[in-house]
Amino acid sequence: MSTDIPHRELTHRVAGFVADAITPIAAAMARGHGPSPKRIVESAGEAGLAGLLTPEAFGGAGGNHGDFIQFIETVARADASSAVILDVHLSVGTEPLLVFGNDDQKSRYLRRLASGEWLAAFALTEAAGGSDAVALRTRAAREGETYVLDGAKAFITGAGDADLYIVMARTGDGAHGVSAFLVEAAWPGVSTGPPLAKMGLHGSWTGELVLDGVRVPAANRLGDEGFGFTVAMSALDSGRVGISAQAVGIAQGALDAAVEPSRRRRDAGSEVDADAIADMEARTAAARQLTRYAAALVDAGRRVTHDAAIAKLYSTDTCVAVAQSAVDLCAPESGAEDHPAAVRFRDAKACQIYEGTNQIQRVVIARHLLRD
């Protein structure tokens, strides 16, 4: 996929956005007292970044996935909560509409998402099914030109603040009995639970989405009936590249937090664990290259299931390991809740879990090798 935005201009725009809009709120976000997810996306819209992957014809910046991962890594280096909000909005929240939406759907929704006026969310997971996405139970019963949706989605990023949900619901049996729908938050029967109190990523809202007899026009079905599992899986293939970029940013932020205190200790005549710092740098650099490779495959129009799983697995394991090393190197100060290494350590763990746990990534990678 080509890019409409010159790379140098994007780098400048992203750096300005992070310096002006993210770094000043990072500490508040880490405590869960920052601006709402919608406000983060609005401020990205003001900087021309809320529609980074959306073509200019629909009000976006027309960037590619190389631009996207640079954006997400740079934001995550400063604040992982803001990064996951923006990542979900841009990738699994908007990309399925870009890839599978018809002209009518694109013209009704893309401009509002690309300007940051609306926040997008992706609703696949259910409490009972967990990683077994095919087991979803939310039903979509067809009544003429309408589908009636009933069910509940769990652990949804942006729930409670999002304006548009991409909802996977059952219209038949098995993987080919799932359909995807564009569901507006304001429609009767749509409600959300309170944000979960999470271990980390305190500035990002995660919660339940309840669909109680929600009447969705057939015009809001995304792709053909029965095509929803493919919509979801291909959204996650690309989304996992974004999570990989987020993990690289968290690892880099943890490394940043550890280097300066280590330098001060060395200058004061104490020993520093230079091997640990070298390993942190090497692993972060390797994770960044895997992420870039996967993003380049997406931009080349190649199926990225295998390489996105590798990037996501390696980068997110790396960010947990690097953040843990940062806590060790910065001890005892890093025992404080607000210490930047402690914040990264808490934020890192979720990356191994969402958009497919790392156990699922291993399933995807091994299946590719062991297939007949």
Contact residues for ligand COS, defined by CB under 6 A:
124-125, 131-134, 175, 229-230, 233-234, 236-237, 305, 354-356, 360, 363-364
By beta-carbon proximity to ligand COS, the closer residue of 135 and 141 is: 135
* Least Å from the CB of residue 18 to ligand COS: 24
Q: Is the dihedral of CA 357, 358, 361, 367 positive or negative?
A: negative
- Of 159, 163, 140, 143, the C-alpha closest to 151 is 140
On whether the CB atoms of residues 216 and 179 are closer than 8 A, the answer is: no
Residue 148 pairs in a beta bridge with 141, 215
By beta-carbon proximity to ligand COS, the closer residue of 102 and 131 is: 131
Q: Is 337 one of the catalytic residues?
A: no
Residue 179 pairs in a beta bridge with 169
By beta-carbon proximity to ligand COS, the closer residue of 305 and 352 is: 305
Where is 216: in which H helix or E strand? Answer: strand 206-217
- Of 88, 91, 96, the C-alpha closest to 37 is 88
User: Residue ranges of the alpha helices (H) in the chain?
Assistant: 7-17, 26-31, 37-46, 65-78, 80-90, 95-100, 103-114, 228-267, 274-299, 305-329, 340-351, 358-370
By beta-carbon proximity to ligand COS, the closer residue of 167 and 360 is: 360
By beta-carbon proximity to ligand COS, the closer residue of 330 and 350 is: 350
* Least Å from the CB of residue 232 to ligand COS: 8
Distance CA 152, CA 248 (A): 32
* Least Å from the CB of residue 345 to ligand COS: 21
Q: Which residues, including other chains, have CB under 8 Å from residue 40's CB and lie 6 or more apart?
A: 21, 34, 82, 85, 86, 203
Q: Which residue's Cβ has the minimum distance to ligand COS?
A: 356
The one catalytic residue in 73, 95, 208, 355 is 355
* Least Å from the CB of residue 243 to ligand COS: 9
Q: For the purposes of burial, counting CB atoms within 10 Å of the CB of 129, is it exposed (0-12), middle (13-18) or buried (19 or more)?
A: middle
First CA to last CA distance, the chain: 31
By beta-carbon proximity to ligand COS, the closer residue of 234 and 324 is: 234
* Least Å from the CB of residue 123 to ligand COS: 9
Q: Is the dihedral of CA 76, 42, 35, 154 positive or negative?
A: negative
* Least Å from the CB of residue 77 to ligand COS: 22
- Rounded to 5°, angle at Cα 257 from 254 and 260: 140
Catalytic residues: 355
